[in-house]
Chain A
Amino acid sequence: MATVETAETAVAEDGGVRRRDFINIAAVSFAGAGAVATVFPLVNQMNPSADVLALASIEVDISAIETGQSIKTSWRKQPIFIRNLTAEEIAEANAVNVSELRDPQTLAERTTAGKENWLITLGVCTHLGCVPLGAAQGEIKGEFGGYFCPCHGSHYDTAARIRKGPAPTNLEVPLHEFLSDTVVKIG
């Protein structure tokens, strides 16, 4: 039953803080904390689910890729370029003065030691996410012989480093590991 607050109960007993003030603040804070705790899973459900994350690593057989060839495959629903560099392309990449690059990295830093001819990158332009050309036979490779993004004209070199155009960084090298000479695990 509702009780109307009387002058008597409204009088502060101690330092102007009433028992009711304490209950009020405690109850509202508790409800607020509960609301925040509830909102977390309601938003977190939008993050990648377990079945999506389960696709996070793939194994690719690279035995059929000849020197100078490259293939496109798919990892986490995104294109992956696997390129078997020629000796000239490796030399070309190593001849560049790294300190002049927008995103300074050597070819060695972007490949596995002893397997420098295998350049594995995401086929996603770091500008706005288009798929650059150059992986498939007959596609334009850009001014630096690597990849060329047709959307806004980013040129990548033979180490897939950004050399010209709006892209801010080199094509991303995903975490990868050679399980044998012919099988590479990506992710």
Chain B
Amino acid sequence: MSFPWAKQYTPTTEFGQWMDKQLPLPRFVYNSVGAGYPAPRNLNYMWNFGSMAGLFLVVQIVTGIILAMHYAANATIAFDSVEHIMRDVNSGWMIRYAHANGASFFFIAIYLHIGRGLFYGSYKAPREMLWLLGVVIYLLAMATAFMGYVLPWGQMSFWGAKVITGLFEAIPFIGKPIQELLLGGFAPDNAALNRFFSLHYLLPFVIVGVVIMHIWALHIPGSNNPTGVDVKGPQDTVPFHPYYTAKDGWTIGLALIFFTILMFFLPNALGHADNYIPANPLSTPAHIVPEWYFWPWYAILRAFTFDFLFIPAKLLGVLAMFSAILVWFFLPWLDKSPVRSGSFRPKFKIFFVILVIDVLILGYCGGAPAEEPFVMISQLAAAYYFAHFLIILPLLSRLEKPEPLPTSITESVTGKPLTTAS
């Protein structure tokens, strides 16, 4: 693990030496996020969102454990227990708003982190496993966020649960039994609420486990960097601590400022007013949408309004929605270009910007009502989304002529060629 020039951990105190022999935890920390982990010297701000996502995962776990101390996962009192948290529990309103908005910040960080990986080719060899684990984390986060949104047992919670489990009904022949299995009934009720609570409590710790593997997989080849060029020598790296701990700390401070602004002054800006109405199985809200971080995928789901061959529209939409994320699992093998960084791929750069705009359009349509022109725009944008991954990327990697790469990270930073001081 790591580069041969990494600083060695040398405990100075007697206790440190004793500890190092018995349980080398300080050594482990030193080598993973301390001075013993050399990271490329040219990392830009896009490399700050991994640690930020980690921070918000911790915020979610801490506030979530606290909320579970006051919440009751029972369909008759769940809604009231959330109001109890908001009105009666000391600082309960703050902790709940931190949890609700913390989810959004986790997804903001994770989307920027994924975008960084897409542009700088962080998914390419030798980091395929790192990327795959990242996609797994994202899928787990989606499941966790969805089940968490059900717990307040408001109108959006109830109908969200009904619609999302309804997706499974689209599976031919066994769809209906699967939906009933997931819900423990014919519509969301106590059984569904209880299992969602149980899993919502469990999955974040599964995410922590996969995050640890994600970081482990990162530390074997080390971080990618904006040039995509491999680290060639000690001149190309700086120790993670204090350089990147300080830099990550700075953006974490900034993120926390925005987080508190949202939490204290606009706590419901990203929520839906309908979720302050208790769940009513007999009345669907007029405009039902998921949380903003699901909008692009929701738009893809709704884009399929027509049957194709023998496949009904409902099944097509569900398949397309899941495929939109599952296609990321194949990304390292779809983009065969040997150049990692988008900075040196003139055509890829353009298509990357178009993809970002395309996803933003999908996101906008996903949040809009299911009517024209949004349905047609979603259809076009969904088609482009898949075309980007399945057609454009494989073709680009064959046809595009990349710009010349710098010979080393140091050269790209200083303008002077790397001189190996041996």
Point out residues on A near B: beta carbons under 8 Å. Answer: 1-2, 4, 27, 31, 34, 41-42, 44-47, 49-52
Write out the residue numbers on chain B whose beta carbons fall within 8 Å of the beta carbon of A1.
41-42, 44, 413
Out of B42, B44, B95, which one reaches A45, CB within 8 Å?
B95
Q: Is A42 a contact partner of B90 (Cβ separation < 8 A)?
A: no
B354 within 8 Å of A by Cβ?
A: no
A28, closest chain B residue (CB): B249
Once the chains bind, are B42 and A2 in contact (CB under 8 Å)?
A: yes
* Structural contact, A45 and B243, CB atoms closer than 8 A: no
| A45 engages B91 (CB within 8 Å) | yes
Chain B window 251-294, contacts with chain A (Cβ cutoff 8 Å), 1 for yes, 0 for no: 00100100000000000000000000000000000000000000
User: Are A45 and B88 neighbours in the complex by a CB distance under 8 Å?
Assistant: no
- Could you tell me which B residues sit within 8 Å of A by CB distance? 41-44, 62-63, 66, 69-70, 84, 87-92, 94-95, 238, 243-244, 247, 249, 253, 256, 413
Q: Could you tell me the distance in whole angstroms from the C-beta of A74 to the nearest C-beta in chain B?
A: 20
Q: Which 3 A-B pairs have the closest CB atoms?
A: A41-B91, A50-B88, A49-B88
Contact in complex: A41, B94 (CB < 8 Å): yes
Chain A residues whose CB sits within 8 angstroms of the CB of B249 once the complex forms: 27, 31
B residues near A31, Cβ cutoff 8 Å: 249, 253
| Contacting residue for B66 out of A27, A45, A47, A50, CB 8 A | A45
Bound-state Cα–Cα, A44 to B89, Å = 9
Q: How far is the CA of A46 from the CA of B65 in the complex (A)?
A: 12
Query: Does A42 contact B62, Cβ atoms closer than 8 Å?
Result: yes
Interchain CB contact under 8 A, B247 and A2: yes
Q: Which secondary structure dominates where chain A touches chain B?
A: helix
* Minimum CB distance partner of B94 in chain A: A41
Q: Which residue of A lies closest to B41 (CB)?
A: A2
State which of B41, B63, B90 has its C-beta within 8 Å of the C-beta of A44.
Answer: B90
A40 to B110: give the CA distance in the assembly, Å. 29
Q: A1-B413, A31-B253, A50-B87 are in contact. Are A45 and B92 (CB under 8 A)?
A: yes
Per the bound structure, the CA–CA distance linking A34 and B256 in Å amounts to: 11
Would you list 10 pairs from A and B whose C-beta atoms are within 8 A, ordered by A residue?
Answer: A2-B247, A34-B256, A41-B91, A42-B62, A42-B95, A44-B90, A45-B70, A45-B89, A49-B92, A51-B84
**Contact, CB under 8 Å: A4 / B238:** yes
Contact (Cβ within 8 A) A46 B69: yes
Distance to closest chain B CB from A103 (angstroms): 33
Is the pair B90, A49 in contact by a Cβ cutoff of 8 Å?
Answer: yes
Q: How far is the CA of A27 from the CA of B254 in the complex (A)?
A: 13
Distance, CA A100 to CA B103, complexed state (A):
64
Smallest CB gap from B40: residue in A: A2
Contact A41 B253 (CB under 8 A): no
Beyond contacts A31-B253, A46-B69: 16 other A-B pairs, Cβ-Cβ < 8 A, are A1-B41, A2-B238, A4-B41, A34-B256, A41-B95, A42-B62, A44-B91, A45-B66, A45-B92, A45-B95, A49-B70, A49-B90, A50-B88, A50-B89, A50-B90, A52-B88
